[in-house]
Amino acid sequence: MNTTITFNRLFVSSESHNSCFSNEFSPGVNLISGRNTSGKSSLIQSLMFAFGVNDVRESLDEILSYQPTFRVDFTKKVGDVEESYTIVRDSKSIYVKEPSGKIVSFRGIDADNSVEHIRLKDYIRDLIGFSLILEQKGELKSAPLESMFLPYYISQSVGWVYLRESFSNLQYYKGFKDDYLDYYLGISNRFDRLEHRRLTKERDRLSAEINNLKRYSKKAEFQFSNLVDEAFGEQAEVYIENYVLKAKSLEEERNKYIKLCNEFSLLQNHHKILKRTKSNIKKQNYNDVDRCPACTQVLSYSLEGLYSHYQKYNDTLELESHITTKLIDKKSKINSSKKKMTTIENEIFNDYGVLLDKNVDGVTFEQWVANKANITLYKQMQADIEHSESELEGVKLSLGSMVTEQETIFSRISKETAFKKIFTAYTSQLKLKPLTDSRYLDLYKIHSFPRQGVELHKTVMAYHFALNAMIAKSKTAHRLPFLLDAILKEDIDETNLETILSFVANNLPSDTQTFVSISEHVKESIPEENEEIKPIEKVRVKDVQSSYFPTNSKLFYVGGGKLERSFFSQSLENYRELHEETIDITVI
């Protein structure tokens, strides 16, 4: 069962300036009037700002300079049960007074990504019954508070020109339009959207990869190489296999040969050192005169030294003999290895040389080898194509098994048909030429309209009213007051003026409250007879109220309809009791 919210009163007070704005609202139609820049848009934006919508902060910059406290009294209705709430926002915090009298506070809510604002968002979502989930950076996240108001708020600045852009921070969510419309139209979207989008992306990637590989493999050089490969036949394959084995043996033998040569060179150096050492030992004298050839130390004579001298000499002779034997053995192995290398090289030359001279159907082995790289690449591409096609089939099966995707598509088509019927009827009431292109009639395809000026204004108006009617019909999403800021443009002529006013009055939602702002400069003096007056300047909102809107509608002027920048035109002294009650809510 969906939730309906009705705003009962807005009270914005500035204690530092001893001024305020205060007004109670009708549960039906509320007409907001006043001069341009008097604060009509600020009034509507204040209602949303009190609920934590920070996107309107910049537009409220002048009002926020008064250091105000915002208070909105509202009624929540679910079925036949109604409950009264009060929400208060000051410079840094938001306080919600529940029907039981309990006050829930959220401190530090200016930044949307702050912990307290996230907590506030979860609280408001639960309070209103708003459960839209959006995708951002590959993750599913709770939709921001702006999207809770989006279908019900048409801003003066861009709302009558661009769709879904009354707030500025929603374009960063992937697939926002589809998820947004699905939610508000009551379309069940139970399938795993992240997985579905991943599979769709993988399907598109594999399809593109297969197409590219197939297109590349059709190049002339690959087709020629394939023909050459087939012409040469199996004989070349056998030769290549033998060649690879012999080439591997040759490589191993070469490594062995290099290793033996290195070892032989090391033994030769060792042998040279031993011969020099033996020569030095023979020349050494132990008469306190001979010196060490290395460190110039005097070698003293002793029996022990003499013994050591001859012992070293004998050891050197023995080691020299051993190294000489190893040199002979190593040289023999080197010669054997070299001989083996020569044998393998001759075998490769003889066998491979024969193959080079062979000619099969005009194709030589040299040509075949030259094209073998292309053949390998071609075969790899064919294998990749086969593998990718197998993966693609798996992805398609997974997508096909997501039955809810098809259910969603059918539901969207059904909703689009219903929307098209309402939208076409509304454009007819606004005396617009019918749109014929599906891009401007199918709800999930519409991004903009090919019109300008008053025609664009009326077309966008028909779109917003039709979407609101669809949401009301679905009875699944929450219902907020319809906030229509500046429904009349400056250059509207008298005929279009009457058309728009009649349309708005006849098609306002019956299940929710509505706020409509219309500019009027209330003047005491009567205009001169020859003075040129624009049609919109002739509008008297009191006459509009009595002529077009129901008897329970309420009209109020910001600044009495005479002053600009007059949002804070009321004295706080006249609302002292209400102000103190508001302050009491913030003192917990």
d(C-alpha 368, C-alpha 360), whole Å: 10
Kindly list the structural domains of the chain, giving each domain's residue range(s) and its CATH number in brackets, ordered by start.
237-355 (1.10.287)
pLDDT band at 198 (very low <50, low <70, confident <90, very high): confident
**Does the pLDDT at position 384 exceed 80?**
yes
pLDDT (mean) for 336-357: 76
pLDDT for 142 equals: 92
pLDDT at position 180 over 90: yes
Q: What is the pLDDT of residue 374?
A: 66
Contact 33, 518 (CB under 8 A): yes
Residue 525, both tokens: 């003096």
Least confident segment among 354-358, 442-446, 496-500: 354-358
Please tell me the predicted confidence (pLDDT) of residue 101: 94
Tell me which residue has tokens 């192995």: 333
So what's the pLDDT on residue 61?
A: 95
As a three-state string, the secondary structure of 74-110 is: EEEEECCEEEEEEEEECCCEEEEECCCCCEEEEECCC
- Rounded distance between C-alpha atoms, residue 256 and residue 443, angstroms: 78
Residue 154 near residue 483 (C-beta atoms within 8 A): yes
3-state DSSP assignment of residue 25: coil
List Cβ neighbours of 441 (8 Å cut-off, separation of 6 or more): 420, 423, 424, 435
Residue 520: pLDDT over 70 = yes
Q: What is the mean pLDDT of the chain?
A: 84
Instruction: Show Cβ contacts of residue 532 under 8 Å, excluding neighbours closer than 6 positions.
Output: none
Q: What is the 3-state secondary structure (H, E, C) of 378-417?
A: HHHHHHHHHHHHHHHHHHHHHHHHCHHHHHHHHHHHHHHH
| Nearest Cα to Cα of residue 431 among 486, 497, 514 | 497
Of 5, 1, 20, whose CA–CA distance to 85 is shortest?
5
Q: Average of pLDDT values for 270-279?
A: 74
- Closest of 75, 65, 105, 113 to residue 89, by C-alpha: 105
Q: Two tokens at 139?
A: 């993750």
Q: What pLDDT, on a 0 to 100 scale, did the predictor assign at position 201? A: 85
| Tokens standing for residue 250 | 């040759």
pLDDT surpassing 90 at residue 311: no
Over residues 398-425, the mean pLDDT reads 84
Q: Which two tokens stand for residue 375?
A: 């053949």
**24-78: per-residue pLDDT in tens?**
999 999 999 999 999 999 999 999 999 999 999 999 999 999 999 999 999 999 9
pLDDT > 70? residue 482:
yes
Q: What is the DSSP letter of 352?
A: H
- pLDDT at residue 248 in the model: 86
Asked if residue 224 has pLDDT above 80, the reply is no
Q: What's the pLDDT band for 297 if we cut at 50, 70, 90? A: low
pTM above 0.85, yes or no: no
Tell me the mean pLDDT in the region 348-355. 65
**DSSP-derived secondary structure for 266-292:** HHHHHHHHHHHHHHHHHH---SS--B-
Flag whether pLDDT at 412 surpasses 60: yes
Mean pLDDT in residue range 166-176: 87
Name which residue leads in pLDDT, 139 or 446: 446
Mean pLDDT score, 165-194: 84
- At 484, is the pLDDT very low, low, confident or very high (cuts 50, 70, 90)? very high
Percent of the chain scored above 70 by pLDDT?
80
Flag whether pLDDT at 183 surpasses 80. Answer: yes
Q: Are strands 93-97 and 103-107 parallel, antiparallel or unpaired?
A: antiparallel
Number of neighbours of residue 575 by Cβ within 10 angstroms: 18
Q: Which region among 111-120, 337-346, 353-362 has the lowest average model confidence (pLDDT)? A: 353-362
Task: Identify the three-state secondary structure at position 446.
Answer: coil
18: amino acid identity, one letter: N
What pLDDT was estimated at residue 38?
93
Say whether 342 sits in a helix, a strand or coil: helix
pLDDT confidence of residue 303: 45
Backbone dihedral angles phi then psi of residue 271, each to the nearest 5 degrees: -65, -40
- Collapse the DSSP code of 174 into the 3-class scheme (helix H, G, I; strand E, B; otherwise coil) and give the result: strand
Task: Measure the N-to-C terminal CA separation of the chain; round to a whole number of Å.
Answer: 33
Q: Which two tokens stand for residue 461?
A: 């108006």
% of the chain surpassing 90 pLDDT: 50
Nearest in space to 516 (alpha carbons), one of 558, 543, 492, 482 = 482
Quote the pLDDT of residue 322.
79
Say whether pLDDT at 360 is over 60.
no
* C-alpha pair distances (Å), 249 with each of 332, 341, 345, 352: 20, 9, 10, 15
Range with the poorest average pLDDT among 17-21, 288-292, 518-522:
288-292
Are 19 and 65 contacting, i.e. CB atoms less than 8 angstroms apart?
no
**Residue 408 to residues 188, 203, 343, 428, 560: CA-CA distances in angstroms?**
7, 20, 76, 30, 51
Whether the CB-CB separation of 567 and 21 falls below 8 Å is answered with: yes
